[in-house]
Amino acid sequence: MKDQVQKLRDKINQYNYQYYVLDNPTVPDAQYDRLLQELITLEREHPEFITPDSPTQRVGAETLKAFSEVKHFVPMLSLENAFIEKQVSDFDKRIKEKLNINNSIQYCCEPKLDGLAINLIYESGILTKAATRGDGVTGENITNNIKTIKSIPLKLQGKNIPLLIEIRGEVYMPLSGFNELNNSAQKKGEKIFANPRNAAAGSLRQLDPKITASRPLNFFSYGIGYVDTSHHLSSLQSQFDIIQQLSEWGMRVNPEVNLVHSIDECIEYYKMILNKRNKLPYDIDGVVYKVNKVELQEKLGFVARAPRFAIAHKFPAQEEMTEILDVIFQVGRTGVLTPVAKLKPVNVAGVIVSNATLHNMDEIHRKDIRLHDVVIIKRAGDVIPEVVGVILENRPKNTHKIIMPPRCPVCHSIVEKEEGKAASYCTGHLICPAQLKESIKHFSSRKALDIAGLGDKWAEILVERKILTSVGDIYDLSMHTLMAIERMGEKSASKLCEAIQKSKKTTLTRFLYGLGIPHVGERTAKVLSEQYRDIHKFSSVSEEEFMQLADIGPIVAKHIVAFFKHPKHQALIEKLLKSGFVFEDLYQAEQRLPLKGKTFVITGTLEKTTRDEAKNILEKLGAKVTNSISSSTHYLIVGASPGSKLEKAQKLNVSILDEKKFQHLLSEFKQS
């Protein structure tokens, strides 16, 4: 038994060191809490095995040697934890027995922030020193870093300010700031923080205060330690009064703090905050109940590492440990392949989790996640569970690296990953069933074939009922088929059929855009249609030839060639064309584009029309309108207060038109 206790103690001390000193947690909080609870139970049953260095006899962890030490005037103790309602009720019962009372007790309730506890020392209202909790007696001197946090006042305001006071609170990192920090670090190839608490701790322990100042840290105060004996805070008879006084001194206090009148109301408060947990802009892992009256707190006193008058009611763990049994790849509606871990089922925050996202292959490589690894799973509210890290010390010998499949698991098209992008894509696009709903919505959109009535709702219904199995099936829809669908009335069916027939008379530009070729927007579709006029020509054009066209680079050219060389795409396009599409005669249209081949730039403010309106008029006449002057520019239209473009145009001998000449030019080409 003694060996078992010592091994458990050593393991907890190691986890404690990794979490608090190195800011590098290796196991989820729930696992740490379970081990600590197991040690507490064993030591209660065998008190002869308790030693001074046991984690049960300590509050925090060692101070980091890089910082000088600060001894707290009043120790900063940890809190006893409760995980179920019975433990909360037992806490209330113990208090009543200790105080020898039967009446309900008032409690001050507050969210338990998942940040870093700090101690602020103010002398005559001026912040002179700040320290971490450390081991509860001695902390790290982080004064210069704390002074960079704008929500911590350098000087207390108001009245009744003591000559010397310790103010306790929590430094934390808001979730939005945490996400931005990690995204920035990932782009730079720097360390990624495991969670906001880890990020806050790491930010406060920077030797260079400028780094701390650059981090999005915030602060809530929640209590007082030492107050000089010459100052009598006689009006502060309760914890709730203390919170109000801190606020009056200019300290930031949590707006969720509440005063309740019984342990049952504590439970109601817990449920209310648990319900709000995922809507709060910061991480919390439970709530804290403190006996409200200071007089009663003093009577209750302390045990070895915690006050008797307070308890932390922890939320169900959002992180747990489990094993990856398999990895599958799901294809999203835009063609992105997402690796999903099939897990040994585990209870996370009250829900049995058997699947978790791995995000993408870059994340898998960064975290070194392998098949059969023991991993940490995180779940927060309705957010999809994710694998946040690997427990390397538990890695079995039979692990295997995870590999992206070369072909789509749904349609078997080639899978590609663009350089510089994290995601991998299925190249099936229009013929991939996993992407069908999105393909139909895009094909039917106003800027594409403009099929009124075939919006999100009906596209999803028609796909789910397998009435549409490809974009080409749109033109096989009939009144009889549509009328058989529940909630599709005769009028709606008739309008949809009419819109489908009307969509067959369109332009090649709209048709190309509607196909959803990767990176081919309206402008590129227009360039392609004007250059080639015949859709059958695209399958024989090379990447190099496409790259000769305006606005088409190597990536776009590669996608266009791959799209039109795909046999299933070719078959689908033929099916669409056979349904009776009629494209506008682009050659005749060119006769109505007198400014085709001419490039214009507009500068300054126009009086008779806006610059956007002028641009639209020019483009309708076939002109190309750009933002910069070059040797290929034919005309510069100059309005009031022109910029540097005028001087550059004069140097390049570009023809310059004032607004009067521009209007005269338009009148020559005015169309009916």
Find the catalytic residue in 112, 378, 441, 624.
112
Parallel, antiparallel or unpaired: strands 319-331 and 116-123: unpaired
Cβ(296)–Cβ(105) below 8 Å: yes
DSSP helix/strand/coil, 80: strand
Question: What are the DSSP calls for 11-72, one per residue?
Answer: HHHHHHIIIIISS---S-HHHHHHHHHHHHHHHHH-GGG--TTSGGG-SS-PPPTTS-EEE-
The token duo for 305 is: 């590492």
Q: Which two tokens stand for residue 125?
A: 């209202």
* Angle made by CA atoms 466, 449, 617, in degrees to the nearest 5: 165
d(CA 450, CA 504): 10
- At residue 380, φ and ψ (nearest 5 deg) are -130, 105
CA distances (Å), origin 360, targets 186, 327, 438, 518, 631: 13, 12, 21, 20, 45
In which order are the strands placed within the sheet that holds 80-82? 80-82, 310-314, 284-291, 107-113, 258-260
- Which amino acid appears at position 319 of this protein? E
Distance CA 421, CA 374 (A): 28
- Provide the strand spans (E) within 133-217: 138-140, 164-172
With a CB cutoff of 8 Å and minimum separation 6, the contacts of 127 are 120, 121, 143, 146, 147, 152, 153, 154, 155
Contacts of 519-528 spanning 24+ positions with Cβ under 8 A:
519/555, 519/556, 519/559, 520/556, 520/559, 520/560, 522/447, 523/551, 524/551, 524/552, 524/556, 527/551, 527/552, 528/560
C-alpha dihedral sign at 224, 228, 229, 235: negative
Separation in Å, CA 190 to CA 185, 211, 366: 5, 14, 11
- Return the number of other C-beta atoms located less than 10 Å from residue 163's C-beta: 13
Cβ 212 vs Cβ 148: under 8 Å = yes
* DSSP for residue 1: -
Q: Who's near 350: CB < 8 A, 6+ residues apart? A: 316
Torsion of the alpha carbons at 628, 632, 634 and 637, rounded to the nearest 10: 10
Break the chain down into helix, strand, coil percent, rounded to 5: 40, 20, 40
Tokens standing for 271? 């449920």
In DSSP terms, which residues pair with 377 in a beta bridge? Answer: 320, 387
Q: Which residues pair with 637 in a beta bridge?
A: 602, 657
State whether the Cα torsion 547-552-558-560 is positive or negative.
negative
Question: Residue 297: helix, strand or coil by DSSP?
Answer: helix
Establish whether 96 is a catalytic residue. Answer: no
What single DSSP character describes residue 485? Answer: S
Q: Please give the positions annotated as active site.
A: 112
